[in-house]
Amino acid sequence: MKRLFIALCLALCASASFAQSGLDSSFGTNGKVTTDFGGAGAAARTVAVQADGKILAAGVAVFNGVADFALARYNSDGTLDAGFGTGNIVTTAFDFPGSFDRVFTVVQQPDGKFVAVGSTVINLFANFALARFNADGTLDASFGTSGIVTTGFGVSAEATSAVVQSDGKIVAAGYANLDGADDFALVRYNSNGTLDASFGTGGKVTTAFLSQGFSEAQAFSVAVQPDGRIVAAGNAVVGGGFDFALARYNSSGTLDASFGTGGRVTTDFAGANDQAESVFVQGDGKIVAAGAAGPYINRGFDFALARYNNNGTLDTSFGTSGKVTTDFAGTNDVPSEPSAIALQGDGKIVVMGQTLVGGVYDFALARYNGNGTLDTSFGTSGKVTTDFAGGNDVPFSVAVQPDGNIVVAGGATINGRADFALARYVGGAGNVPSVTLSTTSLAFGKKVLGTTSTAKVVKLTNTGASTLNISNVNINGDFTIASKTCGMTVAPGASCAVSVTFTPTLIGVRHGTLTFTDNAPTSPQTVTLSGTGTQISLSPVSLNFGTVAVGTTSAAKSVIVTNVGTTPVTFTAISVAGTNPGDYQISANTCSTSLAARGSCAVSVRRKPTAVGTRKATLSVVDNGGGSPQTASLNGVGQ
């Protein structure tokens, strides 16, 4: 890579002393872990807790001025997972096609792949730049060109944040320098990296905030609501200073007119420069934005939070008229972008960032009650700061474990260069979600090749005490998700449903699995799926002869036997069986002993009742075409 910028300042400074309360002593050394990748330094940009309790951190490492994707996996006690990568870590060199490359963040997809997001300069203008990596850290060749995608706006544009939708599409957000100033800029990509033409204009959207007659606005974080609407947050110039700025978009990329004014909202914290760094959508649809407000006299910037109702108005049940500021006694207290917010199962809000005291940045973490007040049961009066080794320590991502403990990942200056840095904090009792499925198996019976069954439904209920976060619903085999009401979250006591259909591609018994991946301790939950494919079709599958006098022979009715497959089928027997087989006789049969591929034949049946009342039997076709025997019901009344 020609030049790399990692949005991380880790210059060596003198040591400062801060409170270390709240750290989980069972993790690493007194709650902290650092990992040296060598080279010029490294920083973790995203962190995720796996279902098995292991912790996955991904970011960027620099070797000789060239960026490598960096990946490390930790056991639940903070030790490196010895079965992962080479030397317990993974690095993969990659190069955006331009110059002056910048990597702002890394996001993880539900399937375990990672997307690095930033910009690269091509023909004098910065372009959105994305690289996707497989779960093992190698570049994903199925994405863009050899794993890399760039998108230009005709002017300089940088992607600062990204989110992966439930359908696998990727929304990148940032800003584009239009008409001499900046606008929010969003791009949506299909899962293979191509632009999604159904979004905006050719996959791209820009949004101006024109309160001054011109726009100066940048997006730093993006989130997707369960209903598919997209929220971007950042800052915009209003009244001569910067304010929080949010925009909400419909899934098509148009501004959502039901949000704020024409789809836009700005919020002032009475500082000259207020900036939303991170945005999070709660399970109840309310939107939390976290960033910095200030500068204030004698203390610079503070943490700033605002919570919005679904329509974009400030939620007056939160803080003071919907707003909260928090001072860590540092010169500058700034939440990290773009993923500084995490919601605990009990509704408490965790916000992390950095605090500057004596020229040194340290991890800073605050926990708020649902009403915006600081949770005094956490750390010191709701706040914790963490120093690693006396130098600059900057966090970038936060995750809440199922047990309520909180993992923060970023970079720390150790012996003169940046290392991956993780800290784990005791989060409390850890109310957890619990999943109950209406069934753990679905049997679809027999179905002719290439035809689709009626849908069967699996109902998922969150019987736990905290919100269930669903990261993926996956299905395999000859089975398809026909529809689902399961979004990204399921509230305690709530349910959602997944409808499944079966379309056999081969004869015989077919198996599959429906899998839910979520933050419940039992994740993943699975439903076994089964069905049988047959290449022999009977039509109709029921013959009704009506009422016939005892001893009288009816007119013949026929069943057409069709081989829908590409190979011949051999018949072992074609006969009448069931409750009253003596009342029905095969009067004609053109099927012989075999039937050619795509061929048809007919079996004709007459009825001569031997007794009064309802009389039933079954036409049975025994074959080697899968799912044998094939049957048609025979019904009639004797009088």
Query: Do 426 and 440 have their domain in common?
Result: no
pTM recorded for the entire structure = 0.67
User: For the chain, give me the number of helices (H) and strands (E)?
Assistant: 0, 48
512 and 540 share one domain: no
At 431, the pLDDT band (50, 70, 90 cuts) reads low
pLDDT tier at 167 (50, 70, 90 boundaries)? confident
Considering the domain architecture, whether residues 170 and 273 belong to the same structural domain is answered as no
Task: Assign 581 to helix, strand or coil.
Answer: helix
**End residue of a domain, out of 298, 332, 366:** 332
Which of 507, 534, 561 is the last residue before a domain boundary? 534
Q: What is the mean pLDDT of the chain?
A: 88
**pLDDT of amino acid 456:** 97
* DSSP 8-state secondary structure symbol assigned to residue 314: B
Residue 3 lies in a domain: no
Same domain, 359 and 388: yes
- Do 460 and 422 sit in the same domain of this protein? no
Do 528 and 540 belong together in one domain?
Answer: no
Q: Is residue 160 part of a domain?
A: yes
For 452-464, b where at least 16 C-beta lie within 10 A, e where not — what string? Answer: ebebbebebbbeb
Cβ pair 616, 593 in contact under 8 A: no
Q: Does residue 173 share a domain with residue 147?
A: yes
CB neighbours (10 Å) of residue 50?
14
Domain boundary, last residue among 534, 554, 572 = 534
Q: Give the model confidence (pLDDT) of 45-97 as tens digits.
A: 888 888 788 899 988 888 887 778 889 999 999 999 987 888 888 888 787 88
Q: Give a yes or no: residue 446 inside a domain.
A: yes
One domain, residues 148 and 77: no
Domain region containing 264:
218-226+233-332
Identify whether 2 is part of a domain: no
Domains identified in the chain, total number: 5
Q: Specify whether 574 is located in the same domain as 634.
A: yes
Tens of pLDDT, residue by residue over 289-338, are 999 887 765 567 889 999 999 999 999 999 999 999 999 876 787 877 67
- Write down the pLDDT at residue 298: 57
DSSP 80: B
What pLDDT score does 174 carry?
95
Instruction: Examine the domain organization and report whether 199 and 131 are in the same domain.
Output: yes
* Shared-domain flag, residues 290 and 384: no
Look up the CATH number of the domain holding residue 559.
2.60.40.10
User: pLDDT tens for residues 439-498?
Assistant: 999 999 999 999 999 999 999 999 887 788 888 899 999 999 999 999 888 998 899 999
- Residue 100 belongs to a domain: no
376 and 423 share one domain:
yes
Gap between the Cα atoms of 494 and 32, Å rounded:
37
pLDDT over 50 at 581, yes or no: yes
Model confidence pLDDT, tens digit, residues 220-261:
999 998 889 999 999 998 887 899 999 999 999 999 999 999
Residue 295: the pLDDT is: 72
330: which residues sit within 8 A by CB, 6+ positions away?
A: 299, 300, 355, 356, 357, 364, 385
